[in-house]
Amino acid sequence: MEAPIQIPNFELFKEIGRGGMSRVYLARQLQPKREVAIKIVSPGSAPDEAFLSSLKIEGDTIAGLNHDNIVTVFACGVVDKHYYLAMEILPGGDLTERIKKGLRAEDAVEVMIQIGGALGHAHKKQVLHRDIKPENVMFHESGKAVLVDFGIAKEGDTESSFTQVGAVVGTPHYMSPERCMGKSTDARSDLYAMGVMFYEMLTGHKVFEGRDTFAVSYAHVYEPVPPLPPEHARFQGIVNKLLAKDPKDRYQTADEMVAALKKHRAGAPSSAEPATRRVDTTISSPLQEKLKRLAADDAGPGATTVNQPTGPVNLHAPTAVSAPLGAASGTASTTAVEAPKGKSVMLYGAILALVVVIGGGVVFWPKPKSDLPEVILNAQQQVEVQDKLGAARAMLRNENTEGAADLYYKVLKEFDCTNEEARGGLKGSDPTRYEEAISACK
């Protein structure tokens, strides 16, 4: 193997992994003698001396962490404009592999406790990780979980050099709402990512899916916490609190989270934390803006009125549609929608055919009587359906009707041809495929 650089006191043998910014090599440290893994940042990611120098400072910061569940760093530095980090070898694979194979709930809880302890130690040293995800949790041969790759970590309120050059901004699926919106973050943002990872360990699915980064980020900001399958419902309170939209509603420290998990492990049920959705109502989706414009164009008798809620909204609080002849109103935020006239009829027809989330309000209406067959889904299928419906709602807000139609079609063809939300959504966005999807529904 031709090593990219010669590092004093180390011999590099072979490449054992790579990422977008770096490669990892198996190596031997000469004094003291031991095998190590060395991560080398690629030259294209190191544009100047200041950048390399800041990486060295970050490496020193991580090397100063001393915890059983944080990777041990032996050395770091800059050679020939390459940044390197020598660390312990972890032969037990990563958490992604274990999630694919399937994890027992008690094993997921144990990983959360161990990695939570690691985060607690780092946070007390004023170090944030900022890229919590299954790929960055690895294992010793003994099975002990270890947190690795603090590559975009930052100390205190200082900005990471990786963030400054835009090379790494984290993984969208694990980003907190405040980070998605470009706001300042603290330790509670790491805890949100822990909640996403916990959900994935329990279900095998990411909490929010989407066709692109925008759809996923939007879901983190606006979408409610999906329900866990029945067999894991006892963890819903912990998941809800970790994934609260407002950092003030989450566990405030990693130690608080670990204490709750240990209490739960000991047999005590977790408190029923509500799946709150706190949003900044100054943020308006493209679909909202279009609805407002259409409503203004149709002003007059029968024009559409959308009452936007202000302040925090609890998505699990009941809401209702106010029809022209009157309807029951919810006990929390209520979105009132009257039948529109003019060119917006088709758009509203599509939207009113399904459960719609518009900037903070959720719309429900009674299920019509139908002679359609009853479809029974298992827990795994229910989770997949909810994932697809949630992603479709996010796409609608971004006016990605084609992507939403694809997801509605999959729900009807592969899971439940009677699903009202999918039927209404597909009928409004792609009538041709709607007819095809329901033709086989007997």
Distance CA(304)–CA(291), nearest Å, equals: 9
- Listed range (169-178, 269-278, 420-429) with the worst mean pLDDT: 269-278
**pLDDT tens digits along 123-176:** 999 999 988 999 999 999 899 999 998 754 444 444 443 333 333 345 789 999
Residue environment code for 93-104, b if the CB has 16+ CB neighbours within 10 A, otherwise e: ebbeebbeeebe
**CATH architecture assignment, domain 10-87:** 2-Layer Sandwich (3.30)
pLDDT at 80: 83
End-to-end CA distance of the chain: 62
Per-residue tokens: 276: 């709150």
Contact 275, 240 (CB under 8 A): yes
Distance CA(298)–CA(320), nearest Å, equals: 23
Domain with CATH 1.10.510.10 in the chain: 95-277
Distance CA(225)–CA(202), nearest Å, equals: 14
Distance CA(198)–CA(99), nearest Å, equals: 10
Query: Is the pLDDT higher at 339 or at 29?
Result: 29
Q: Three-state DSSP class for 419?
A: coil
pTM of this prediction?
A: 0.59
User: Would you name the residues annotated as active-site residues?
Assistant: 131
**What percentage of the chain reaches a pLDDT higher than 70?**
66
Q: Three-state DSSP class for 18?
A: strand
Side chain identity at residue 26, one-letter code: L
Mean pLDDT of 221-229: 91
Mean pLDDT of 296-318: 39
pLDDT at 422: 86
Contacts of 435 (CB under 8 A, 6+ apart): none
Contact 195, 242 (CB under 8 A): yes
pLDDT at 341: 41
Distance CA(261)–CA(100), nearest Å, equals: 23
CB atoms within 10 A of CB 292: 14
Q: Three-state DSSP class for 34?
A: strand
Distance CA(420)–CA(251), nearest Å, equals: 36
Domain with CATH 3.30.200.20 in the chain: 10-87
pLDDT tier for residue 364 given thresholds of 50, 70 and 90 = very low
Mean pLDDT over all residues of the chain? Answer: 74
pLDDT at 201: 97
CB atoms within 10 A of CB 240: 24
Q: Which fold has domain 95-277?
A: Transferase(Phosphotransferase); domain 1 (1.10.510)
- Listed range (99-108, 178-187, 241-250, 262-271) with the worst mean pLDDT: 262-271
Mean pLDDT of 42-71: 76
pLDDT at 271: 43
Distance CA(190)–CA(247), nearest Å, equals: 11
